[in-house]
Amino acid sequence: MNVDLDDHLEEARRRIAEAADEAALRAVERAYVDKGGVVAEMLASIPGLPPEDRKAVGVNANRLKTAIQEALEARRSELADAELEARRGARGFDPTVPGTPQRRGSLHPLTQLQRHVEDVFTSMGYLVLDGPEVELDEYNFQKLNIPADHPAREMQDTFWCDRDQHLVLRTHTSPVQIRAMEQLEPPFRTIVPGRVFRNEELDATHSHTFHQVEGLCVAEGVAVGHLVMTLRTALREVLMKDDLDVRLRPGYFPFVEPGFELDVRCPFCADGCRICKHTTWIEFCGCGMVHPNVLRAGGIDPERFSGFAFGFGLDRLAMMWAAIDDVRHFLEADLRFLEQF
């Protein structure tokens, strides 16, 4: 019996060692291990054997099966390794060559500045709000004290989406003033950073798609002094210039009364340069005290509450912040520009 076992095992191992592929290994498996194979035949012969031989045959059959299975497994793994090696060799795979470096992106300069502005205002107790870019005429104009036939509509060249439904691409972030008043109970203060659109020709300081930051503070007893102090403090923080000064000039916006233009002392020079057009002041934003009609349109009693509002261009601030000379850079996905931030 042992002789049989040794012969079978030797023969099976030889065939396994010579097998060059899975098909050859399966043939050995079928001949020895599968149903009807050598091992199964040995087991099937047991009932016809003398009782004293039965145990030994059973044990030998199982040993044979285990030994062949181990040999098959070892050969399969050898063949798999060889195949992988062959494939790597064919492609010239060299595990010591350094990998391709991943290029890291960065946040767009406007996003970086917007986050910085948000941090400054939230540290002053402001809530950051958002609003729709496709806006109703009612919010973009009417509730801001700009009726349909008002000449002030001409101040902002508008992209109309659908004249019948009065949908526009918002021309400024001011409509969110009304949305904020509808949602919040005074006292509150909020800023609204966002993208706005105007049907304007592109040049170094004008874009058809740009960004504004609206500010709105409504409470009892709010006055112009609060507005000036707020913008001066925020700008000093944003531009990191402790002595930065601001000034007001009269300005007309239908939704504020009185209305102002706020200028910032040029952060680049003391006595005039190209950026401030040799005036030492840079026009920064429109602002003023919220018009009583606007408070009313937002559901707030103008007899009890007052408020200030401002709206500045984030792109223009970014030009000051990072000494960028052309607003069009922000729209172009030019990596030579973007990689500098």
CB nearer ligand FA5, residue 65 or residue 170:
170
Quote the tokens at residue 188: 């509150």
For residues 232 to 271, the per-residue mask of contacts with ligand FA5, x marking binding by CB under 6 A and - elsewhere, is ---------------------x--x---------------
* 107 touches 341 (CB < 8 A): yes
C-alpha span between 21 and 11 (Å, rounded): 18
- What gap in Å lies between CA 60 and CA 64, rounded to an integer? 6
The pair of structure tokens assigned to 165 is 């439904």
Of 214, 206, 205, 213, which is closest to residue 157 (Cα–Cα)? Answer: 206
Euclidean distance between CA atoms 73 and 83, whole angstroms: 15
Which residue, among 200, 154, 156, 161, has the nearest Cα to 328 in the 3D structure? 200
Residue selected from 133, 200, 245, 326 as contacting ligand FA5 according to rule CB under 6 A: 200
Return the residue of 33, 140, 311, 324 that touches ligand FA5, per CB under 6 A: 311
We find the least distance from the C-beta atom of residue 336 to ligand FA5, in angstroms, to be 22
Q: How far is the CB of 103 from ligand FA5 (least distance, A)?
A: 30
What is the rounded distance in angstroms from the CA atom of residue 156 to the CA atom of residue 168?
Answer: 12
* Smallest separation (angstroms) from ligand FA5 to the CB of 228: 14
Stretch near ligand FA5 under the rule CB under 6 A, chosen from 133-141, 159-167, 305-313, 331-339: 305-313
Tokens standing for 234? Answer: 């925020």
How much of the chain is in helix, strand and coil states, percent to nearest 5?
45, 20, 35
Based on the shown chain and the rule CB under 6 A, indicate whether residue 330 belongs to the binding site for ligand FA5. no
CA angle, 156 then 323 then 236, to 5°: 80
Confirm or reject binding of residue 324 to ligand FA5 (CB under 6 A). no
Pattern of binders to ligand FA5 over 151-170, x per CB under 6 A? Answer: --------------------
The verdict on 316 binding ligand FA5 (CB under 6 A) reads yes
Task: Pick the piece of the chain touching ligand FA5 (CB under 6 A) from 64-72, 131-139, 158-166, 307-315.
Answer: 307-315
What's the distance, CA 89 to chain centroid?
A: 41
Task: Assess 298 for contact with ligand FA5 (CB under 6 A).
Answer: no
Contact (Cβ atoms closer than 8 angstroms) between residue 238 and residue 231: no
Q: Which stretch binds ligand FA5 (CB under 6 A): 115-123, 207-215, 234-242, 293-301?
A: 207-215
Q: Which of residues 78-117 bind ligand FA5 (CB under 6 A)?
A: none
Interface residues toward ligand FA5, by CB under 6 A? 172, 174, 198, 200, 206-207, 210, 212, 214, 253, 256, 285-288, 309-313, 315-316, 327
